[in-house]
A and B are shown apart, each in its own frame.
Chain A
């Protein structure tokens, strides 16, 4: 069954939030566009905690463990007696371990972000308005032939600047 994608562009934040709330109440899956991170839209869409934090934590702990393992293993593999310090001198390894914690944590956060937000996004959206990166908010909804009219009514109730249509399926 082919779906119809409806994309409404709004000038005002409150209209956008109302449209999202109306659509979600009616049981539609909604995608929203905004020119900047807007927490009112996130709240209207019912977002909880982002799992990016798990990526950060696991990455950072992996870095710590790698740092410990690497410095200790290499010091045993090639013993260098320097500065009257013991072969395995943890305090001297702390800077290395710390840097590896940060490095792994940061890179893992970015990988997590890319996977979770589906970047890079090479598949073009069914309908898109370049004004979303300038000053407009957008609400996108997909509906089968039986429910298109209902979705359109909810979107129109908030007086969009523009309402576009496209055929196909998007990763809502």
Chain B
């Protein structure tokens, strides 16, 4: 007999003691996919109403033109770009949890990674809409994509905005493929228990997966390589997004610290969003045995770490502005703290720097309601961070005659709020259609059933 006992006891150390049989996981997780309750339908209706508002406002802007937004000289980038960066940032922690922590073999990722990965895909889907909204003339958006045309015009590959097109589309494609691949064995598990129309749908989605040795063998390797490709990809995407700003000469944007600063901020906001989403998921579907305080504690620690990196970046920006002796740079950062948009800056500093300090306390990290509230603060704070970077830098550039104030219009706010509904709509569908906890990966860390062990007792 070649199965070592050492290996068996090492596994299972991180799963809940109540989980002993492999098919318990199927029972509990597939239960989530059963007939939805009233609460789910109510949330779906609310999100659909929000999507209606989103599309209505966007349609109005297409009909009337970009004039219905508050965008004008000097502030040409406003709520749309803020929200774009916000959603791209949200996406990042999903890939961090599913790919980077997979490569590092962090054992607490198993129960949350499926939900986090779904969040990534839907967040990039949401983010991707904002450049399209922002360009105004949607029907010309395809000009961004290099395609052979009769006049041999090509995009400017030296421009960070074109890098961004490549980064975001690659990110969406790769994370969607990675997500889909991970669901195949679990959808097959759902297929084997489902009936009727659902069974047919799962048959197609699982591609006839049966869990044979050949399938598992190649699947495992492909998964590792995809994770290895997704890891530098996720770091590159938010770096490229940051270069949209840092490559320009606008004071407040032109900083070499931007790439790591943005990546840390992205992970900070994303882990915050994972907490915001998994707390209700756990409660509504009774997944307490799968999402334990151990998992939330680990996520809270990740939030705490990235919060400190982000705060350090804020402070070093202020320090560098002062230390550079550059008057325009100094003015820009003074204006950030005490200028027209002081309220946005102080919201950002409070939510991202001050509130997460509470995570130092174990009692807070182990209290799920407290974590939920803190995660909401993080979401708000990180939206304001992007608002501060985008708007306060643009409204107060070099020449005093070109200074100006930007006020987001109702249309912009409706689109921004509506994007949360659009994201929520997809996430709600996901919880009903795809097992929201990775069944097969959980089984991998459970102690396997052994006959010899049983006989020994």
- Which of A's residues lie within 8 Å of B, judged by CB? 11-15, 17-18, 21, 31-38, 40-45, 47, 49-50, 52-53, 56, 60, 70-71, 74-75, 77-78, 80, 82-83, 85, 89, 92-93, 95-96, 98-100, 102-103, 105-107, 109-110, 112-113, 116-123, 125, 128, 130-135, 159
CB distance from A139 to the nearest CB of B (A): 10
Which residues of the partner chain B approach A132 to less than 8 Å between Cβ atoms?
A: 192, 210-211
**Interface residues of chain B: helix, strand, loop or mixed (majority):** helix
User: Could you tell me the distance between the alpha carbons of A159 and B451 in the complex, rounded to whole angstroms?
Assistant: 10
Indicate if the CB atoms of B211 and A110 lie closer than 8 Å.
no
CB pair B221–A50 under 8 Å, yes or no, is yes
A13-B450 contact, Cβ under 8 Å, with A34-B216, A109-B222, A116-B218:
yes
Apart from A74-B146, A103-B174, A120-B208: 16 A-B pairs, beta carbons within 8 A: A18-B1, A35-B189, A37-B216, A37-B219, A56-B222, A77-B152, A82-B159, A95-B163, A99-B166, A102-B170, A106-B230, A117-B219, A121-B207, A121-B209, A132-B210, A132-B211
Question: With a CB–CB cut-off of 8 A, which chain A residues contact B156?
Answer: 80, 82
Contact of A47 among B23, B24, B217, B454 (CB under 8 A): B217
Contact A14/B222 with A36-B440, A103-B173, A134-B22 known, Cβ cut-off 8 Å: no
Q: How far is the CA of A78 from the CA of B230 in the complex (A)?
A: 32
A95-B211 contact given A47-B217, A75-B157, A89-B158, CB 8 Å threshold: no
Q: Does B226 contact A (CB under 8 A)?
A: yes
Query: Helix, strand, loop or mixed for chain A's interface?
Result: helix
B26 within 8 A of A: yes
Q: Name the residue of chain B whose CB is nearest to the CB of A21.
A: B2
Which chain B residues (102-155) contact chain A, with CB distance < 8 Å?
146, 152-155
Contact check, A53 vs B207: say whether CB atoms are below 8 A apart. no
Q: Which of B62-70, B232-240, B346-354 contacts A (4 or more CB under 8 A)?
A: B232-240
8 Å CB contact of A33 from B154, B210, B441, B452: B210
Q: Which 7 pairs across A and B sit closest by C-beta, in order of nearness?
A: A121-B208, A135-B23, A130-B192, A135-B22, A120-B207, A133-B189, A36-B443
In whole Å, how far is B98's beta carbon from the nearest beta carbon of chain A?
13
Check A44 against B229 for contact (C-beta < 8 Å).
Answer: no
Contact between A133 and B219 (Cβ–Cβ < 8 Å)?
Answer: no
Q: A110-B177, A133-B188 are in contact. Are A43 and B167 (CB under 8 A)?
A: no
Q: Is the CB of A110 within 8 A of B222?
A: yes
CA distance A82 to B155 in the complex (A): 12
> Does the CB pair B213–A74 fall under 8 Å?
no
Q: B157–A42 contact, CB under 8 A?
A: no
Are B26 and A42 in contact, with the CB atoms below 8 A?
no
Q: Cβ of B213 and Cβ of A41 under 8 Å apart?
A: yes
Instruction: Check B174–A96 contact: CB distance below 8 A.
Output: no
The answer on a CB contact under 8 Å between A36 and B441 is yes
- Cα A85 to Cα B156 in complex, Å, equals 12
Complex contact B154–A14 (CB within 8 A): no
CA of A95 to CA of B28, assembled, Å: 44
Residue B162 interfacial (CB < 8 Å): yes
Do A134 and B166 form a contact, CB below 8 Å, given A50-B218, A52-B221, A99-B236? no
Known: A42-B216, A45-B213. A56 touches B157 (CB 8 A): no
Q: Check if B173 sits within 8 Å of A107, measured CB to CB.
A: yes
Whether A40 contacts B2 by the Cβ 8 Å rule is yes
Identify the closest chain A residue to B448 (Cβ): A13
Contact of B166 among A17, A100, A113 (CB under 8 A): A100
Chain B interface bracket (under 10, 10 to 19, 20 to 34, 35 or more): 35 or more
A82 to B154, CA, bound (A): 13
Could you tell me which residues of chain B, from 1 to 52, have a CB within 8 Å of some CB in chain A?
1-3, 21-24, 26
User: Is the Cβ of A15 less than 8 Å from the Cβ of B451?
Assistant: yes
The answer to whether B218 and A52 have CB atoms under 8 Å apart is: yes
Give A70's nearest chain B residue, CB to CB. Answer: B146
C-alpha spacing A11/B448, complex, angstroms: 10
A93:B451 contact, CB within 8 angstroms:
no
CB-CB nearest in chain B for A42:
B217
List residues of chain A with CB within 8 A of the CB of B407: none
Tell yes or no: B193 within 8 A of A by CB. yes
Is the Cβ of B208 less than 8 Å from the Cβ of A95? no
| Complex: A116 Cα to B221 Cα, angstroms | 11
> Is B410's beta carbon under 8 Å from chain A?
no
Asked whether A106 and B229 contact (CB < 8 A) given A14-B1, A96-B157, the answer is yes
A74 to B218, CA, bound (A): 38
B302 in contact (CB, < 8 A): no
Give 10 pairs: A residue, B residue, CB < 8 Å, sorted on A: A12-B454, A13-B3, A36-B441, A38-B448, A42-B217, A82-B159, A96-B163, A102-B230, A117-B214, A131-B23
What separation, in Å, do the CA atoms of A133 and B25 have in the docked complex?
A: 11
Select one of A18, A116, A134, A159 contacting B26, CB under 8 A. Answer: A134
Q: What's the least CB distance linking B218 to chain A, in Å?
A: 4
A11 engages B449 (CB within 8 Å): yes
Task: Tell me if B177 and A119 are in contact (CB < 8 A).
Answer: no
Contacting A at CB under 8 A, from B435-457, are 440-441, 443-444, 448-452, 454
By a CB distance below 8 angstroms, the chain A residues around B163 are 95-96, 99
Neighbouring A residues of B209 by C-beta, 8 Å: 119, 121
Please give, as numbers and ranges, the residues of chain B lying within 8 Å of A32 by CB-CB distance: 212-213
Contact A102 B233 (CB under 8 A): yes
